Amino acid sequence: MNNLRQKNKEYFPCMLFLAFSIFFWEWYVKSGYVSDYLVPAPSAVGQSFLNHFSILPEHILTTMSEALVGLFFAVIIGVLIAALIAGIPFIRRVLYPIVVVSQNIPILALAPLLAVWFGFGLTPKVIIVVLIGFFPIVVNTADGLMNVDKDMISLVRGLGANRWQTFRLVLFPSAIPAFFSGLRIASTYAVIGAVIAEWMGASSGLGLFLVRSQRSFQTDQIFMAIIVIAVLSISLFISIQILSNIAMPWRKALIDMGDK
């Protein structure tokens, strides 16, 4: 309880400032200093939420499915390739440079190409999210596996541990923190990756909604969509943070101790 009160106290100035900014914005637009088709008043954005309440869930569902399915495959492929890179020196020499250089390809620029190849359905968006998310996961996880504490390996090997035991007891757990930092980065790009992929053509999704709103100069809808995207992104990030706290309870214990 005490902790909560302390947190409230900490965030109070920020909240106050935000509330003040929103009031000021409302007043500024309402006073006619700026046209409301360029910048909608916060109340208009709120109204837009009410107006689109029925169609929003469908768009959210589409975009989130793309982001989550993409992230899922990014994790599977990323971890697999990381394991190969870390485990087999020959594969490291073949793949690692390609993985790194491939990051210089602007992945969003591939979106039109993917639309040509795979049409306007789920597939091209998922591929974009996979391509964006896969890199930080591979690089971080591979680093985690390769920078494992050599003394720990010696310790378990000295006790006669076999390869599987060495992996289970040392390699796997010591790569978890690195994997999660990769996943965190991937997750921040997943939602926006899906949205932008939708710009290239889609039948549903927040990206499509954004494009439609832009064409009809519905800035209040654009603002609304931006807020929705931000909230989704943050929720995803927080979910992953929670997941990583569950997977690494020893880290949380350390942070708790630091607080005291």
Partner 1 sequence: MIESITMEDVAVDVEGVDYTYTQSQKIDALRDISFKVNTGDFVSFIGPSGSGKSTLLHLISGLLNPSKGVIYVNGEKSFSSLGRVAFMPQRDTLFPWRTVEKNAVLGAEILGVPRKVAFQKASELYELFGLAGFEKVWPNQLSGGMRQRLALLRTFLIPKDTILLDEPFGSLDALTRYEMQQWLQQIWDHDRRTIILVTHDVDEAILLSDTIYILSERPGSIIKRVDVSIERPRKKKVIHSTEFTQIKSEIFQILGSEI
For partner 1, the closer of residues 4 and 257 by Cβ is 257
- What is the distance of C-alpha 246 from the center of its chain? 18
List Cα–Cα distances, 237 to 111, 189, 230, in angstroms: 24, 10, 10
Contact call for residues 125 and 175 (beta carbons, < 8 A): no
Site for partner 1 in 222-251 (CB under 8 A): 248-250
For partner 1, the closer of residues 69 and 170 by Cβ is 170
Selected from 146, 169, 227, 243, the binder of partner 1 by CB under 8 A is 169
What span, in angstroms and rounded, lies between the C-alpha atoms of 48 and 180?
A: 37
Nearest distance from residue 250's CB to partner 1, in Å?
A: 4
Binding mask 146-165 for partner 1 (x = CB under 8 A): ---x-xx-xxxxxxxx---x
Site for partner 1 in 2-21 (CB under 8 A): none
Contact call for residues 136 and 193 (beta carbons, < 8 A): no
Nearest distance from residue 220's CB to partner 1, in Å?
A: 49
Tokens of 260: 């005291």
For partner 1, the closer of residues 175 and 224 by Cβ is 175
Q: Determine the length of the chain.
A: 260
Largest CA distance in the chain: 78
CA-based nearest residue to 135, from 188, 199, 196, 62: 188
Nearest distance from residue 170's CB to partner 1, in Å?
A: 8
For partner 1, the closer of residues 47 and 181 by Cβ is 181
Which residues of the chain form contacts with partner 1 (CB under 8 A)? 149, 151-152, 154-161, 165, 169-170, 173-174, 176, 248-250, 253-254, 257
